[in-house]
Structure 1
C-alpha cells in the first residue's frame, strides 16, 4: 500500500512534459501588440509611409509624436513584421511591408483598416468588460445600460460618421472572403443575386465584376443607401449592381436565384436566424442557393479560434447573436425547408455555408 501511495504522489508531481508559459504570456499580453498596430493605423502611419522610406525623426514630425518612445514604437512594429527597417538607430529608415502596403494604405482599394479602426475606437474598450457579459449575458457596447429590447445597430444608424466607419469595418473583414466567393463559386447556372444586409454593396460588386452575366442587388436599410452608392460608383459597377432599401425582417426578400448574407446571421438568436432562413427559402426558385458567409466554426469546435472569438464578440455587440458550426447551419436550414448543403472554404477563417432549395 505504501508503494502504491508513493507511485501516485510521484505521478502527480512529475509531468510528462516540461510546463512552458510562453503561450499563456503571449495571449495574456496580446493586447500590447494589438494596440500597437491599432495605434499605427489610427495615426495613419502606413498611409504616410506608402512609397517612402523615412527615418524615425521624419516619421515623428509627420505624425506629431513625442520623441520619448518613437524608436520603441517603430522597432516594435518592425519586430512584429509590420514595417521594414534598413539600418538601426537615428539613421535607420522604415517602410511598409508588402502586406501593410496592400492592406493598410487607406488610399488603396485593398484597405482593410476600417475594421481595425473600429476595433480601436469601439471594441477595444467594450472587450474590457467581457467578464460582465459572461456573467449577465448582456451586450457590453453602446446599449449596455439600455433595455433588452434595444437594437444594437440603432447607435450606428443614428450617427452618419459611425455608420460609415461600421460599414467600412465590415468591408475590411469581408473583402478577402467576398472576392474568393465571387471567383470560386460556380455562378454559371444563375443569373441574379441579392445580398441581404449588403452594407457597402461589396459582395454584390465583387460577384458582378467577376461574373459578367450576373445582375446583383445589394439590400439594406435606407440609412445605408448613400454609403452603398459611393462604393458602387467607386468600383464602376452602377450598371450591374442595384441598390434596394428595406427592412429584411419586415419586408419580403427580393426574388433572386441566389440569396446571400455576409456576417448577418450571427447577429441574431435562433428564432430570428430561422425567420431569415425561411424568408430566403421563399424568395428562391427551385434549385436556388442560400449562401451564408461567416467564420463558420468547425463541427468539433476546437480549430476555428477566430470563429469562436467572433461569437464572443457577438456577446459584446448583440442581445442574442452567436456564431455557429456547419452542422448548426444544416439543422437550421433544414427546418427552413432546404434539402442539400455544402461548405466552401473562402479565405482565412471564413467559409460559405450553402443551402440549396
Structure 2
C-alpha cells in the first residue's frame, strides 16, 4: 500500500510519502463528480467538462491535467477522454467497477483527517459530523450505495472462496452479514447443490431482492432478516463471516462465534475471512486497514491469526486452519466437534 521508507530514504522519499494524499484526493474527487461516467459518453473539451460538472475555471485545468499525468485520463488536443484503466473500472457501476468502493473511500478520507483524535482519545471518529454506519440503514439511497461498495469489496472473494474450500461435503451455508447476497450468489453459482442463505438487517431485504433479480438468482438464495447478535441464527452446515469480525471488539467476536457454534450441527464449519495482520505485526498494508477500522467503528480492528484461533477455541471450535484467500484477505476455517 503506497511507498515505504527505510534507513537510506532521503527527504524526497519522505515527502513523496507525506504528499501521497494529493493524488488519492484528486481521484476521489473525480469519482464524486462523476467525471469518468461523464467521459464514458464520449470525449469532451475542458470547457465542456467545466459546464457539465460545475467546475470553477480557476482549478479545473490543473485538476484534469493532473489526472492525465496520473494515467487516468487521456488528452488529445483540447479534448479529454478516459484512460484504459478508468474506462474499465471507473466509468460505470457493474462487474469490475471500483466506483462504489471509491465513494466509500471518499467518506473514509474525511474520517482519516481525525486520526490524531483517535490516537489521543481511542474513540471512533466516524460519528463526527453525523457520519456513522447507522445512517446508511436509515437512508435507502445511502444504503444502496453502501451495499454496492460491499459488493465491490467481495467481487474477487466469492470466486476465490468457492475454489478454496471443499464444498462437496456440505449441503448448505449462510453468509452472515452478507449484504445484498453477492458472495452467496458466487458460491451457489459455483456449487449449485448448496442451499444458500444470506443474513442481514431487515432494511437490506428490498435491495437483496432487487440484486437477486438482476443476477437471475431469484429463489436461489434465501434472505434471513435478522440482527445476528439478538435473533436466532438459521440452521445450516456452514456459516460464513466475511468482513464481519473486524467490525467488533474481542468480547463481541467471541460472543458471535459462540452463537454460531450453538447454531451449527456437529461437524458444521465456520468460515471467517478478513484482512488478517501477520502475527509479526510488520506488514503496513493491513495494519493501516486496522487503523481504518478503529476510525470507523467503536471497537473494531483487523487482527492476527493467533488472536482468531484463540476466539474460535473459546467458542468451542477445533481443527482451525488459516490460509491466504485473495488480495489482502486470509480465510480461517474451523469445525464444531462431533459428539
TM-score, normalising length from structure 1?
A: 0.85
Matches within 5 A, 1:264-343: 264-303=244-283, 305-343=284-322
Supply the distance in 2 between the matched residues of 1:39 and 1:258 (Cα, whole angstroms).
41
Contact 2:242 2:273 in 1 (8 A): yes
Q: Does 1:185 align with 2:175?
A: no
TM-score, normalising length from structure 2?
A: 0.89
- 3-state SS in 2 of match to 1:138: coil
Name which one, 1 or 2, has greater alpha-carbon Rg: 1
Supply the distance in 1 between the matched residues of 2:329 and 2:275 (Cα, whole angstroms).
4
What is residue 137 of structure 2 aligned with on the other side? Answer: 157
Supply the distance in 2 between the matched residues of 1:351 and 1:76 (Cα, whole angstroms).
36
Q: For the structure 1 residues 231 and 31, does the alpha-carbon distance in structure 2 shift closer, same or farther, using more than 3 Å as the test?
A: same
Query: How far off its partner does 1:299 sit?
Result: 1.6
Contact 1:197 1:219 in 2 (8 A): yes
What is residue 29 of structure 2 aligned with on the other side? Answer: 39
Unaligned runs of 5+ in 1: 1-15
Supply the distance in 1 between the matched residues of 2:263 and 2:53 (Cα, whole angstroms).
51
Q: For the structure 1 residues 272 and 35, does the alpha-carbon distance in structure 2 shift closer, same or farther, using more than 3 Å as the test?
A: same
Larger deviation, residues 291-300 vs 54-63: 54-63
Unaligned runs of 5+ in 2: 1-5
What is residue 94 of structure 1 aligned with on the other side? Answer: 81
Larger deviation, residues 262-271 vs 123-132: 123-132
Contact 2:248 2:299 in 1 (8 A): yes
Supply the distance in 1 between the matched residues of 2:30 and 2:83 (Cα, whole angstroms).
12
Matches within 5 A, 1:157-176: 157-176=137-156
Q: Does 1:221 align with 2:201?
A: yes
- 3-state SS in 1 of match to 2:334: strand
Larger deviation, residues 316-325 vs 23-32: 23-32
Kindly tell me the number of residue pairs found equivalent between the two proteins: 331
Q: CA RMSD in A?
A: 2.4
What is residue 103 of structure 2 aligned with on the other side? Answer: 117
